[in-house]
């Protein structure tokens, strides 16, 4: 009689579970992408400005610094909650934690939408504070959501972890396309903001409801419910006899207790010792990418000082296409390639990651901030800028996918979930560090 220790191969029928996890990759970045896309028009140039009787807009102290406050209020809570989430003991199923964080994020988006058509100009200071508080709550919950999704994906074969990265990049592409379309068809700021937040809310609703479908899948039970990769046993009532199933029911609680009783700090330390090279790889990939995109690329121009715009694209679409669309599309392509090709291996991945640091000085010495820079432009050719942008973006998607897939594979199987969640933390840490380092690069170029 076969025992519960036998291994069964279970197929992801129609790639349904893979697609659901990819959907959550989209969901984890949808609120942030929507906020940073709509913030310049909706908050900086609309809600945070005053208008005289002629309809002329005037900057305020809130509009001048809103984007900086937005970045701080978004990324710091995200980073902190990602970090805390690593040390909170995870016993088996992560879906309750994910579902609760999704409800909080969705509630904050509804709260934000409720102010779109409200006259907030007479109480701008209060609205400014309320907005930042809601952004802090939203991104704190989103940090738990994102980190838990990586933990959930790590229970499955390694390609599922890359599905989250693919979803992240697909989200950026989708939001950029929406931005270009709304630029073409509408100039009403309030309507555009309501549409942006509505799309974000709809996406999160899909993510929330998808769990009801996800938990019904055999492969989900096999990999997530047991959540014990260190045990090769995979028991499921559809694959065993009644007697065998009863045996499994007796053994499963013991399996879970062995995992749950392990101190999270001890597990963290062991995972860190085994997986730190891959975590550094993940950190550096996102540090370089987010230092350059969008902070540097958004301020690169085609025309040098004293010259006229001459690039092939209409001028108003130069930044949306050569910055946002270019990065997101090619990062998406790179993450798709990582699903099919895994080269170099875990031990040599650093050889492709570390040289990417050279991208930072290259883009800084393109035609970046031509009106205020003090250093000469060494790479004025726009086509060279576009080509290197493609290389940087593809390598970002490809190497980040490899790093996230390799991390749970290089540690002991019992620590794959915590290792994947730690990699998720280093992903966010890389983003925050990259965004902050952009300020240093800008200061260097302008002084």
For residues 325 and 176, is the Cβ–Cβ distance under 8 A? yes
Q: What are 226's two structure tokens?
A: 């047991």
pLDDT at residue 267 in the model: 61
For residues 407 and 419, is the Cβ–Cβ distance under 8 A? yes
Give the containing element (helix H, strand E) for 50: strand 50-51
Quick count: other Cβ atoms within 10 Å of Cβ 136? 17
For residues 191 and 350, is the Cβ–Cβ distance under 8 A? no
**Domains with residue ranges and CATH for the chain:** 8-227 (1.20.1250.20), 228-260 (no CATH), 263-447 (1.20.1250)
pLDDT at residue 82 in the model: 83
For residues 293 and 323, is the Cβ–Cβ distance under 8 A? yes
pLDDT at residue 389 in the model: 98
pLDDT at residue 187 in the model: 78
CB-count exposure of residue 68 (10 Å: 0-12, 13-18, 19+): exposed
Which residues, other chains included, contact 419 with Cβ-Cβ below 8 Å and sequence gap of 6+?
154, 271, 274, 275, 407, 408, 410, 411
SS3 405: helix
pLDDT tens for the 447 residues of the chain, in order: 443 434 444 566 678 889 999 999 999 988 888 888 888 888 988 898 887 777 677 778 888 778 778 888 888 898 988 888 777 755 556 778 888 999 999 999 999 999 999 999 889 999 999 999 999 999 999 989 998 898 888 777 778 889 999 999 999 899 888 888 887 887 788 988 898 899 999 999 999 998 778 777 655 555 554 544 434 434 433 334 444 444 444 444 444 444 444 445 666 666 667 789 999 999 999 999 999 998 899 899 999 888 999 999 999 889 989 998 999 999 999 999 999 999 999 999 999 999 999 999 999 999 999 999 999 999 999 999 999 999 999 999 999 999 999 998 888 877 787 888 889 899 999 999 998 899 899 999 998
Which residues, other chains included, contact 96 with Cβ-Cβ below 8 Å and sequence gap of 6+?
none
Give the containing element (helix H, strand E) for 57: strand 57-58
pLDDT at residue 252 in the model: 44
DSSP letter for 303, please. Answer: S
């Amino acid at each position: 009689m076969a025992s519960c220790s036998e291994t069964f191969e279970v197929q992801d029928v129609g790639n349904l579970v893979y697609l659901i996890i990819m959907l959550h990759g989209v969901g984890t970045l949808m609120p942030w992408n929507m906020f940073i896309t709509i913030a310049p028009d909706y908050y900086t140039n609309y809600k945070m400005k005053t208008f005289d009787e002629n309809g002329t807009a005037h900057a305020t102290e809130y509009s001048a610094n809103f984007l900086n406050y937005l970045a701080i209020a978004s990324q710091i809570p995200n980073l902190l909650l990602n970090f805390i989430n690593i040390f909170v003991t995870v016993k088996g199923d992560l879906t309750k934690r994910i579902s609760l964080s999704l409800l909080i994020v969705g509630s904050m988006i509804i709260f934000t939408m409720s102010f779109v058509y409200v006259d907030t100009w007479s109480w701008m200071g209060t609205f400014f504070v309320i907005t930042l508080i809601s952004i802090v709550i939203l991104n704190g919950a989103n940090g738990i959501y994102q980190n838990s999704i990586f933990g959930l994906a790590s229970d499955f074969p390694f390609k599922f972890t890359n599905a989250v990265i693919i979803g992240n990049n697909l989200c950026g592409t989708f939001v950029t396309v929406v931005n270009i379309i709304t630029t073409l068809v509408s100039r009403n700021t309030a309507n555009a903001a309501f549409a942006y937040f509505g799309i974000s809310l709809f996406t999160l609703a899909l993510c929330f409801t998808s769990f009801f479908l996800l938990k019904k899948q055999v492969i989900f039970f096999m990999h997530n419910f047991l959540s014990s990769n260190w045990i090769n046993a995979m028991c499921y009532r559809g694959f065993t006899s009644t007697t065998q199933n009863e045996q499994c029911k007796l053994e499963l609680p013991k399996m879970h207790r062995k995992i749950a009783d392990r101190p999270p700090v001890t597990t963290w330390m062991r995972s860190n010792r085994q997986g730190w090279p891959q975590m550094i790889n993940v950190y550096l990939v996102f540090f370089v990418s987010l230092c350059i995109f969008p902070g540097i690329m958004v301020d690169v121009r085609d025309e040098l000082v004293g010259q006229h715009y001459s690039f092939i694209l209409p001028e108003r679409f130069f930044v949306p296409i050569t910055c946002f669309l270019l990065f997101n599309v090619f990062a998406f392509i790179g993450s798709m390639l990582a699903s099919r090709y895994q080269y170099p291996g875990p031990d040599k991945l650093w050889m492709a990651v570390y040289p990417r640091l050279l991208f930072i000085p290259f883009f800084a010495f393109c035609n970046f901030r031509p009106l205020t820079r003090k250093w000469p432009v060494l790479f004025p050719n726009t086509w060279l800028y576009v080509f290197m942008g493609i290389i940087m973006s593809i390598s970002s998607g490809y190497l980040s996918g490899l790093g996230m897939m390799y991390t749970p594979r290089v540690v002991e199987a019992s620590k794959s979930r915590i290792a994947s969640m730690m990699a998720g933390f280093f992903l966010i840490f890389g983003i925050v560090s990259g965004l902050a380092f952009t300020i240093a690069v800008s200061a260097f170029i302008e002084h």
